[in-house]
Amino acid sequence: MPQYHQLGQIPHKRHTQFRKPDGTLYSEQLFSTEGFSSHYSLLYHCHPPTEIIKVDEPYSAAPRIAEEKMLKHRSFQGFNIKPVPDFLASRKAVLVNSDCQIVLAAPQQSMQDYFYKNADADELIFVHEGSGILHTQYGQLPFSYGDYLVIPRGTIYQVAFSDANNRLFIVESFSPIRFPKRYLSQYGQLMEHAPFCERDIRQPQHLQTIDEAGDFLIRIKKKGMMYPIHYAHHPFDVVGWDGCEYPFAFSIHDFEPITGRVHQPPPVHQTFEGSNFVVCSFCPRLFDYHPQAIPAPYNHSNIDSDELLYYVDGDFMSRKHVTRGMITLHPGGIPHGPHPGAVEKSIGAKETKELAVMVDTFHPLQITEEALAIEDKQYVMSWSE
């Protein structure tokens, strides 16, 4: 859980009168993704955040499922997703289940004519290429290569990119995205054995209050549909807020790998978790230091989870023909492991420069039409080379 944070002006006590210079009241809003049962923030608007002036026809934003069931190792060339100017149009769901959706995107333009709210899912956006600023009601979050942007469901935001060259790996989670429980004290502080700490978390800054009337379009995704709703005032009319529910950034480059004398299992790389899935960061690190250690991972049986690995940069000792943006999917039910020759080749190696994001899901992933269009169909036979 992020630490308590405050920006702008807020009243001394919550749920009390907080007046503008002209004597009228600011409009208080409680923001939480789990009702009144978990952490929250209180935002103070110049105008009520409820003033709808027009509603356009909704349209489908649901992924198109191509395969609901399968048992085969798969690989997808993520950078074959074509760049698209619009941010929302660029997002292509490739692997999905009832807990999360894996999305690839290559947007070329900043969001200017509308705002976006995902009312279904928390979003974890990994920035593979590109930089810019995430603008929200809570303030600004500058981002660049290697950043995770964690955006709670219901957050209204706009993304301003520095240029047209952007590649994003996105996890949409239908449950809150959290830090692993084993790294948290009973009070929510990241403990000493965690591979990162609160100093690594970047909170929103530079709150800008935009008190403007007009026609402001917010595209809201709910249950696979996109609802274009127009509001009478700018959604970033917040003069102040405080609490523990807000978007934040964490760089994969600030993850401190946990190593040992022999090969460490994937949970040491865990960075986030949701309901029925985990997210891990594989970062440059020293290899195992037992004199007879085998750095390459051992063969292991995926019985209760699908393993998805998104390759970011560097060399991967366990895989052949790895490309940037490549996704491998090893489904639950059959074992997998290093490619032929990788084990012997790894012996004696001192370190790895690999960088990757892994998502393990405990319910099977379904494959979309967008995924089939970028699949390497020969991958399943790559262990026989």
pLDDT tens for 128-184 read: 999 999 999 999 999 999 999 999 999 999 999 999 999 999 999 999 999 999 999
Distance between CA 160 and CA 186 in Å, rounded?
Answer: 37
Distance between CA 31 and CA 42 in Å, rounded?
Answer: 6
**Which of 320-334, 348-362, 363-377 is predicted most confidently?**
363-377
Token match 């967008």: residue?
Answer: 370
Please tell me whether 300 is known to bind a ligand. Answer: yes
| Lowest mean pLDDT, pick from 105-119, 266-280, 295-309 | 295-309
Is the confidence at residue 370, as pLDDT, over 90?
A: yes
Please tell me whether 128 is known to bind a ligand. Answer: no
Distance between CA 34 and CA 10 in Å, rounded?
Answer: 23
Residue pair 155/218 in contact (Cβ under 8 Å)? The answer is no
pLDDT category of residue 349 using cuts at 50, 70 and 90: confident
Task: Tell which CATH architecture fits domain 256-384.
Answer: Sandwich (2.60)
pLDDT average, residue stretch 352-370: 95
Distance between CA 340 and CA 346 in Å, rounded?
Answer: 12
pLDDT at 107: 98
Distance between CA 225 and CA 326 in Å, rounded?
Answer: 29
Is the confidence at residue 318, as pLDDT, over 60?
A: no
**Closest listed residue to residue 250, CA positions, set 172, 162, 337, 134:** 134
pLDDT at 298: 84
Alpha-carbon distances of 136 from 107, 162, 235, 325, rounded to whole Å:
19, 17, 9, 28
pLDDT average, residue stretch 89-108: 98
pLDDT at 1: 56
Residue pair 174/99 in contact (Cβ under 8 Å)? The answer is yes
Please tell me whether 363 is known to bind a ligand. Answer: no
pTM equals: 0.95
Q: What's the pLDDT tens digit per position in 52-96?
A: 999 999 999 999 999 999 999 999 999 999 999 999 999 999 999
**To the nearest whole percent, how much of the chain has pLDDT over 70?**
98
pLDDT category of residue 212 using cuts at 50, 70 and 90: very high
Query: Which is catalytic among the residues 39, 230, 263, 363?
Result: 263
pLDDT category of residue 202 using cuts at 50, 70 and 90: very high
**To the nearest whole percent, how much of the chain has pLDDT over 90?**
79
Which residues are within 8 A (CB) of 369 and not within 5 positions of it... i.e. 6 or more apart? 64, 65, 66
> What's the distance, Cα to Cα, between the start and end of the chain in Å?
46
Average pLDDT, the chain: 94
Is the confidence at residue 319, as pLDDT, over 80?
A: no
pLDDT average, residue stretch 107-133: 97
CA triplet 223, 225, 226: central angle to 5 degrees?
Answer: 130
Q: Where are the domains of the chain?
A: 29-64+82-252, 256-384
CATH number for the domain running over 29-64+82-252 = 2.60.120.10
Which residues are within 8 A (CB) of 6 and not within 5 positions of it... i.e. 6 or more apart? 240, 241, 242
Q: What's the pLDDT tens digit per position in 374-384?
A: 999 999 988 87
**Closest listed residue to residue 168, CA positions, set 281, 95, 91:** 91
Residue 263 is a catalytic residue: yes
